Amino acid sequence: MDAAVSTSAAFRPNTYVTILRTSPETLTDEYGDEMDNEVPVSTRNPFSIIMQSKRQYLPSENRTTIVQTHLGRCRANVDVKETDRLKDERTGFVYMIESIVHPQDPMGAAAKSFILRRVQTDNL
C-alpha cells in the first residue's frame, strides 16, 4: 500500500467549524456570576455535522418516540478536546462535545468521530 494513500480521503465535510476553548481564568459579570469565556482556537476547520433520527421505545409510557442525535466527523489532525465547543460557521449553531472516538488506524489518518449536543445560544 502506498504511504501517500489516506483512509480519510473519503471524508466529506459539509461545513466549517470554529473550535472554542475555555480559557483557564474565570470571568465574572457585575453580579459575580460566571460568564462564558470561550476563545476561538482555530477557525475554518472542515467538519461534517449530521443529524440522525431514531425511533426509541419508552416502556414506562408504552409508546415510541423519535430521538434526534447530532454526529460529527473531522480529520485526525484537527486539535479538538472533549471540553471544547464547536461553532458551525454556516448556521451559527454551537455544539457541545459529549464524546470523541479516536479510531485505530495503522496509518494514523482515520477521521475522528463525535457525538454532539446542540447548545442554546443567544442568537437563536
Mapped onto helix, strand or coil, the DSSP state of residue 124 is coil
Output DSSP code: residue 4.
T
Digitized pLDDT (tens) for each residue of the chain, 124 residues in all: 344 434 445 678 999 999 999 876 767 777 877 667 788 999 999 999 999 998 988 899 899 998 888 999 998 889 999 989 999 999 999 999 999 988 777 776 778 899 999 986 665 4
Spans of all domains in the chain: 9-119
Say how far apart CA 43 and CA 72 lie, in whole Å. Answer: 16
pLDDT of residue 123: 52
pLDDT of residue 51: 92
Residue 78 and residue 97 in contact, taking contact as beta carbons nearer than 8 Å: no
Q: How far is CA 57 from CA 52, 60, 61, 84, 116, in A?
A: 16, 9, 9, 32, 22
Mapped onto helix, strand or coil, the DSSP state of residue 9 is helix
- Owner of C-alpha cell 415510541: 64
Looking at domain 9-119, what is its CATH homologous superfamily?
A: Bacteriophage SPP1 head-tail adaptor protein (2.40.10.270)
pTM given for the model: 0.75
